[in-house]
Amino acid sequence: MKTQTIIALKFLLIMTVLTGVIYPFFMTGVAQLTFRAKANGSLIIKDGKIIGSELIGQKFDSTIYFWSRPSAIDYNPIPSGASNLGPTSDKLKKQVVERRILFAIMNTITDTTAIPKEMIFASASGLDPHISQKAALLQVDRVAKARNFNTIQKHNLVQSVKNLTEKPQFLVLGEERVNVLALNLELNKLDQNITNNK
């Protein structure tokens, strides 16, 4: 009995060191060598400062920026979650109607059924960083007007949306999408270039 206990304790110790120390250090090392940016959270750095992650959505509600998908947790990454409101919820119906009307008014859309679903429904995590290309293109007029862009500048903005559109993962998973933070950073660059060239 005593021998079996000693064997069990030795096995526990070996497995603890193997799976709790060696394996994590090995995987961390491999990740740092092969996928450093992804392993560190796909961080976006500007002027030497971390301003966000490609994987976590941020709140943009100004007219001069492209808007993100609605968030039930106000884009707070710590609780991360959805509203858990069901399809029969009156509160959810009210939220959807309000979001649809606001998006339509702010973007001068007459056909509210043309508004992509991600602009009126929050995601399950509340942190989705992407919107569809269609949702981004529907916001171009508003952003261009708010920034006083001319026709050429507006065309460049549309081209930026198209250039930043990501294809489905492995060409089959998900849909075409645009990272809102990356798009707004590109928008600021475009606006800065315009200002510098005046």
What digits encode the pLDDT tens for the residues 117-141?
Answer: 999 999 888 899 999 999 999 999 9
Examine the domain organization and report whether 4 and 70 are in the same domain. no
pLDDT tops 80 at residue 40: no
Q: Are residues 140 and 108 in the same domain?
A: yes
CB atoms within 10 A of CB 158: 13
Residue 52: other Cβ atoms inside 10 A? 21
pLDDT of residue 197: 47
Range of the domain at 132: 42-197
Both 46 and 134 in one domain: the answer is yes
**Do 79 and 4 lie in a common domain?**
no
Residue-wise pLDDT for 64-118, tens only, equals 999 999 998 988 888 888 888 888 999 999 999 999 999 999 999 999 889 999 9
Q: What's phi and psi for 178, nearest 5 deg?
A: -125, 130
Q: What confidence score (pLDDT) does residue 80 get? A: 80
Same domain assignment for residues 33 and 48: no
Closest among 80, 163, 87 to 129, alpha carbons compared: 80
Number of structural domains the chain divides into = 2
pTM: 0.79
